[in-house]
Amino acid sequence: MEQTKQLQLLKELCEIDGVSGCEGKVAQWLKEHLPEDCTAHLDARGNLICEKKGKQTPKNKMMFAAHMDEVGFIITYIEESGLLRFDAVGGVDTRVVVGKPVRLESGKEGVVGAKPIHLQSADEREATLKYKDLYIDIGAKSREEAEKFVQQGDFATFRPQFVQMGNCICARALDDRIGCLLLLELLHEELPYDITVVFSAQEEIGGAAGNAAFAVKPDIAVAVDTNTAADVPGVAASKNVCALGKGPVLTFQDKGGFADRDLFRMAKEICKEQEIPYQIKNQVVGATDAAGMGKAAAGCRTLAMAVPTRYIHSPSCVFDPKDLEPTAKLLSAMVKRFGEM
C-alpha cells in the first residue's frame, strides 16, 4: 500500500478510543475496512475474528493476531469538588501522565493534575507519584456537575495526536494499531493459503486472544505487535531491545514464553533470502498475545514479531514509517512459507 494512504488509515485508527475492554469502536472501523471476500464476527470477549480464503488450504492452520486495545484509565471515584479519581488500565508509568490532556468516554476533555510542585515537601519532590496522588480535572465545580459527563467505571484515554516529526510519526495508541493496520493490509492481499486474522481485545490487561485461539484452534499463531525501542542515550546497545528504522523485530523469548524454534529460524531465513532488514529483540521483557494463543486448547506453535516503537504506553509513541514495508513483506512471506510446512 502507498505510504500516504497507510499513514492516513493509521491516523484514523489511532484517533479511535479503545481502552482494554472498550474496543468496540476500533472493531467497527476495522470491520468496515475489510475486503469483501473476508468473513468476520465478534466473539464474547470482543475479539474480531476474520477468515480469508487463499488459493489453497494449508496443512497447518494459520492465525495472525494484533490487539485493538490501548492503555488508558478508568474512573474510580468522583470527589465532591468534581475532580475525578482514577487508576490505570494496563501498564502506564505515572511519570508520563501528570499534566497530560485526556478524553472521557462521553467526549468530555480534561487534564491530569497533581499537588503543585511549589507545595510539595522535599521528600515528595524526590518520590515518584502514585495514582492515588493524581486526579482528572474536567472543569466541573461539583460532583453533580461532573456526573453529567462521567460515571464510576467509565474509561478515559490520552487525547489523540498524530504528528509528523522529522522522518517519524508521533501518536497515541501506536501499540498496537500499527499491527492492526498491517494485518488489515494482509487481508487485502491475494493469498496463497487460507488464514485467520484476529483483531484481539484486552491484550494490555491479560489478553483475550487465547479465547479466539481456543475457537479457531490454529496449528501456528503469530502475534503482530510493537516492541519498546530503547535506542536512546543512556542505554547500552546490548540493552536497547530494538531500534527504529532497522526493520521488523523477531522475538526468541519474552516474559510470556518462548518462540517456536522452527518458526523463529524460518522467519530469519525468509528475511535473509528476500533481503528484508530485520532485528532480534535483545532483551527478555514484555509479552504479547502469543502467550495466550500458545496455551489455548491443545496449544499451538507461536511466534511474535513487531514494529519497533519508542515510548509505548504513553501519549507520544514514536515509530519510523519505513519499518512498515519490510514488516508487511515478511508477513506475506510467512503466509506462503508456513503454509508450505
> In the chain, what is the straight-line distance between the N-terminal and C-terminal CA atoms, in Å?
28
Are 121 and 92 in contact by the 8 Å Cβ rule? The answer is no
Query: Distance between CA atoms of 144 and 182, rounded to whole angstroms?
Result: 44
DSSP state letters, 23-72: -HHHHHHHHHTS-TTEEEEE-TTS-EEEEE--SB--SS-EEEEEE--B-E
Are 162 and 11 in contact by the 8 Å Cβ rule? The answer is yes
What does the radius of gyration of the chain's CA atoms come to, in whole angstroms?
21
DSSP state letters, 97-131: TTT-EEEETTS-EEEEE-S-GGG--HHHHHSPP-G
Q: How many residues does the chain have?
A: 341
∠ CA 291-96-230, nearest 5°, is 55
Q: Which residues are catalytic?
A: 203
Query: Distance between CA atoms of 159 and 156, rounded to whole angstroms?
Result: 9
Query: Distance between CA atoms of 85 and 96, rounded to whole angstroms?
Result: 17
Query: Distance between CA atoms of 77 and 135, rounded to whole angstroms?
Result: 10
∠ CA 138-144-145, nearest 5°, is 40
Residue with cell 489453497: 56
Grid cell locating 110: 480534561
The verdict on whether omega for the bond into residue 176 sits within 30 degrees of 0, i.e. cis, is yes
327: enclosing H helix or E strand: helix 324-339
